[in-house]
Amino acid sequence: MKLSQPLKIFPTALHACSYLPARIARNAVIDPSFPMSLSVYDYLIKSGFRRSGQQVYKPYCQTCTQCATTRIDVKKFKASRSQRRNWKLNQDIVIKINKGEFKQEYLPLYAEYLTARHESDDYDGVDEFLTSDWCHTEFIEFYLKEKLIAVATIDVLESGLSAVYTFFDSKTGSQRGLGVFAILWELEYAKKLGLEYVYPGYWIEDCNKMNYKTRYQPIEGLIDGQWRSLPK
């Protein structure tokens, strides 16, 4: 890809790792003044980068390489028995696609999810965390009997869908496996759009919160600069 100007990458300060205890981490971030676009981001996501709001980053730790960005081949994906059960169970959920802005109606659901899953009540700036002005972001709304029970935030890229963040009602989510259902729905949506991949985010083998991604087979991880199959 030919860029309009040089792409500068800067390391962040060292900080405590969010996923592995007693580890120190840092990221490499793209110069925020760079004129980011969907095409450039699509190229970068294939190179291991992700976005958080406007910031495009990837892990850049000197002594640890456990974070591997992942992709699921839409055409090759085969649902497991439990995933097929999950899909069947949730067929009464109504899906609506919001191609506009973050809705204030999402806030109570997001706040409840943070409290239940992360023991946090700090949801200030959530709209800035989920969106950017250069990316095509969609909010997938899941309704059960007209009640909003989940929202999956995705970026629609040239090569696939990037799963940004999913939050849901904790009780219903546990009963119905809404996190699983959201990924299954995204795979179907990507197929409908004629896209090649779903990018579910980073995989960390030694972190229970991050290693679930290998349940979606076949899945590949970017390891040492090469896309390699990850075993279940």
Report the chain's mean pLDDT, rounded to a whole number.
Answer: 93
Q: Are 72 and 197 in contact (CB under 8 A)?
A: yes
> Where would I find the H helices in the chain?
38-45, 81-89, 107-118, 126-130, 170-176, 178-193
Domain 72-201 has CATH 3.40.630.30: yes
Out of 65-69, 114-118, 160-164, 206-210, which region has the weakest mean confidence (pLDDT)? Answer: 114-118
Q: Are 164 and 156 in contact (CB under 8 A)?
A: no
For 150, list phi and psi in degrees, rounded to 5: -165, 155
Looking at residue 148, its amino acid is: L
User: What is the separation of C-alpha 136 from the centre of its chain, rounded to a whole number of angstroms?
Assistant: 14
Q: Which residue has the higher pLDDT, 45 or 63?
A: 45
pLDDT at 159: 96
SS3 content of the chain, % helix, strand, coil (to 5): 30, 30, 40
Say yes or no to pLDDT of 192 above 70: yes
Q: Domain spans of the chain?
A: 72-201
* Residue 116 binned pLDDT confidence (cut-offs 50, 70, 90): confident
**60-98 per-position pLDDT tens digit:** 998 898 999 999 999 999 999 999 999 999 999 999 999
Q: How far, in Å, are 29, 134, 164, 190, 204 from residue 156 at the CA level?
A: 21, 11, 10, 9, 24
**pTM tops 0.85:** yes
